Amino acid sequence: MLDQHRFRACVGAPSSLAVWVHQGPGRRAAAGLLCLTLLAASQAAADLVGYWSFEADDAADGSGYGNDGSLVNGPVFTDDVPATIPSARSISFNGADNTGSYVQIPHADSLSFTGGMVTVSFWMKANAADPSPWLRAINKDNGGSHGFEIQRNDAGATAALRIDTATNNQSKAIGPAWNGAWNHIVFSLNNGMANVWLNGVRTVNNSAYFHTGGFDNTADLIMGRSFQESAREYDGLMDDVAVWDTALNHGMALALYRPICGYDVTQMQTLFNVYTSGVPATIGERQWHAVSNLLLGEGQSFVWTNRNEYYLQLDAAGKGVASTNLATAAVDLVGYWTFDGEDASDFSGFGNDGTVESHVAFTNDTPTGTGRAAAFFGGSDSLAQIAVPNSQTLAVNDAMTLSFWVKMYTNTPSWTRFLRKSDESSARNGWLIDRDSGSFNIGVRYDTGGGGGLFNQNRLFSSGSEIDGTWHHVVIVAYDNGSGTTANGTTKKFVDGVLKRSETYSHGTGFGNTYPLEFNNQGNFIGRLDEVALWYDALTDGMAIALYDPVLGFDQTQMRDLFNVFLTGQERMVGGRRWKPVSGLSLGEGQSAISGDNIYLQLDAAGNGVAVIISGTLFTLF
């Protein structure tokens, strides 16, 4: 059950309203850095006015506007379809001169385009062996004075967009699409500006055309031939033809090439409407929201499998849509750097690899005596640093856990930062781990002043005594309580499997940011680091404690899998054994035990945890 629901303004989006949800340690807010927003309807909705999927072996319009087409001269249907869209049927045109097959969609008000804008998206697989020049795939043209069409450029492989206004026959080369392969083309016209995308790449970028007089007309929309000129019949296949009465942006056009969730065009149109209006919508079992602060790139999507979450960015400002499972119980490890390969490769599975500068050393002085650790020698050495570029998964905002082994020498300077994701600006958010002044304690600093919280909040520094030149395991946990007060965050420090301190901090709208994760950014750290792990969640006390002496010597990816057995109640294979959720344990939080063939790990104070049970029923299964 969700602990808190509350609404507040989203940073950087003053016209929006953000939905923030928090579920406590181990069940963090699903959105992380993302703000689930109800955006003000500041953009015009993209209206799909025609969609012909050919799935029913006809030219029925699926847009809802009733622009059904007629099949002329017997086009046929085939199961040869593009691989990246949810299609089972395409239409085939025979290309016979003057008597070739085609689809004719009668002109209608919805196809007038009197606003000077149009977007057309379609797939084509042209017969490259046909020697005929200037073939027409799609056209809506009244004979050369007003209209648009996709044509073959002479008899070659290049497709071209032709635009007719008061200045006719304005051509924009698209790229090689008459090549016998499936190709996806999107073109948009917007009152004198043309854009074209071929297979997810923009090949015509804001190219001007003479718009005087406009391209609008009362001609029918034709697929497969020119309606005004003879011997221009298209020879090949076509699929998923869609027409909008506005100019889609770059992100939308790219998103149509590889649709998220395998959606068809009408479903993608629903996502575009969520993005432009800010009004949530449901597709199947998924509810989609408008979101901001995405870092994926225009038209790019991200599927977070463990969380059953989906994200799609639709503009350069980081806005888009997301389907997030707010009730998810799973936790996820988003960065895990072991240094065993004498590099900063990420073993979390999310690809958050770091760059190691030349003065970082690697040593076999490690907590376990195996593998490698990263070694640093101080001296303000700018070449003794590791930097991990920011990513969508590293941009934790409302909850996180940072686990690491550290061996810090007492001659490390005061306030040395050895882990940081911040630029330490009072106007922006971030976090860092440092030596607290000249004490022997490691502390954490939260900067949330950029989002209504407080700047330079030093926490967890008055206990631990970790700075003594020996190895210690440290876990830092932070999460938003959702209380709506200025002191609404909780942070904890565990040292060598013991909770040392728990404090509040002013959370504001969070500590998420777009800065890289830096190891030893000042070059002053003197000591060793090993097994650094960043979690996208606030782990429970039992989980944090369990990381100190992992059951069976598991690494953090295996511990993640055990935690998710506990949280989701679903059995899974981990380390070659089948683990089950269990109750009735009395080992203590984070403690494990082996009894014969059975293995037990308690993960909360109530005695719940996970186990491998080969024989007997020592404890009760859920």
CB 485 within 8 A of CB 381: no
Same domain, yes or no, for 491 and 592?
no
Lowest-pLDDT range, 39-43, 55-59, 149-153, 579-583? Answer: 39-43
**Which CATH number goes with the domain that contains 154?**
2.60.120.200
Report which secondary-structure segment, H or E, holds 270. helix 265-277
- Domain closes at, from 546, 573, 594: 546
Lowest-pLDDT range, 26-35, 67-76, 117-126, 365-374? Answer: 26-35
Same domain, yes or no, for 512 and 564?
no
Q: What is the mean pLDDT of residues 178-198?
A: 97
In angstroms, rounded to a whole number, what is the distance separating the alpha carbons of residues 526 and 481? 35
For residue 74, what are the contacts with CB-CB under 8 A and spacing of at least 6? 94, 101
* Number of domains the chain contains: 4
Same domain, yes or no, for 384 and 456?
yes
Lowest-pLDDT range, 41-50, 72-81, 265-274, 296-305? Answer: 41-50
CB 563 within 8 A of CB 422: no
In angstroms, rounded to a whole number, what is the distance separating the alpha carbons of residues 140 and 104? 10
Q: Is 374 helix (H, G, I), strand (E, B) or coil?
A: strand
Same domain, yes or no, for 86 and 145?
yes
Q: Give the pLDDT confidence score for residue 45 in this predicted structure.
A: 59
Instruction: Say whether pLDDT at 28 is over 50.
Output: no
- Band the pLDDT of 292: cuts 50, 70, 90: confident
pLDDT digits (tens, 9 = 90+) for 196-211: 999 999 999 999 999 9
Is residue 411 a part of any domain in this protein? yes
CB 600 within 8 A of CB 593: yes
Instruction: Say whether pLDDT at 622 is over 60.
Output: no
Same domain, yes or no, for 232 and 360?
no
Is residue 533 a part of any domain in this protein? yes
- Band the pLDDT of 487: cuts 50, 70, 90: low
Instruction: Give the phi and the psi of residue 375 in degrees, each rounded to 5.
Output: -115, 140
How far lies 107's CA from each of 51, 110, 112, 277, in Å? 14, 8, 7, 29
Q: What is the mean pLDDT of residues 360-380?
A: 96
- Domain closes at, from 525, 546, 567: 546
Instruction: Say whether pLDDT at 158 is over 70.
Output: yes
Instruction: Give the phi and the psi of residue 189 in degrees, each rounded to 5.
Output: -120, 135
Q: How many residues does the chain have?
A: 622
Please compute, for residue 268, the number of CA atoms within 13 A of its CA located in the half-sphere on the CB side. Answer: 31
Alpha-carbon radius of gyration of the chain: 30
Same domain, yes or no, for 312 and 400?
no
Instruction: Say whether pLDDT at 107 is over 90.
Output: yes
In angstroms, rounded to a whole number, what is the distance separating the alpha carbons of residues 269 and 275? 10
* Residue spans of beta strands (DSSP E) within 168-325: 170-176, 183-190, 193-198, 201-208, 221-223, 235-244, 281-283, 286-292, 301-304, 309-313, 320-323
Residue 447 forms beta bridges with which residues?
430
Q: Is 207 helix (H, G, I), strand (E, B) or coil?
A: strand
Q: Is 261 helix (H, G, I), strand (E, B) or coil?
A: helix
Average pLDDT, the chain: 88
- Domain range for 441 is 333-546
Q: Give the pLDDT confidence score for residue 325 in this predicted structure.
A: 62
Instruction: Say whether pLDDT at 29 is over 50.
Output: no
CB 232 within 8 A of CB 143: no
- Band the pLDDT of 445: cuts 50, 70, 90: very high
Q: Give the rounded percent of residues in the chain with a pLDDT score beyond 90.
A: 75
Residue type, 319: K
In angstroms, rounded to a whole number, what is the distance separating the alpha carbons of residues 176 and 128? 10
CB 140 within 8 A of CB 189: no
Please compute, for residue 558, the number of CA atoms within 13 A of its CA located in the half-sphere on the CB side. Answer: 14
Q: What is the mean pLDDT of residues 563-592?
A: 93
- Band the pLDDT of 615: cuts 50, 70, 90: low
Instruction: Say whether pLDDT at 17 is over 60.
Output: no
Task: Rank 2-16, 460-474, 527-541 by mean pLDDT and report only the highest.
Answer: 527-541
Residue 22 forms beta bridges with which residues?
4
Q: Give the pLDDT confidence score for residue 58 in this predicted structure.
A: 97
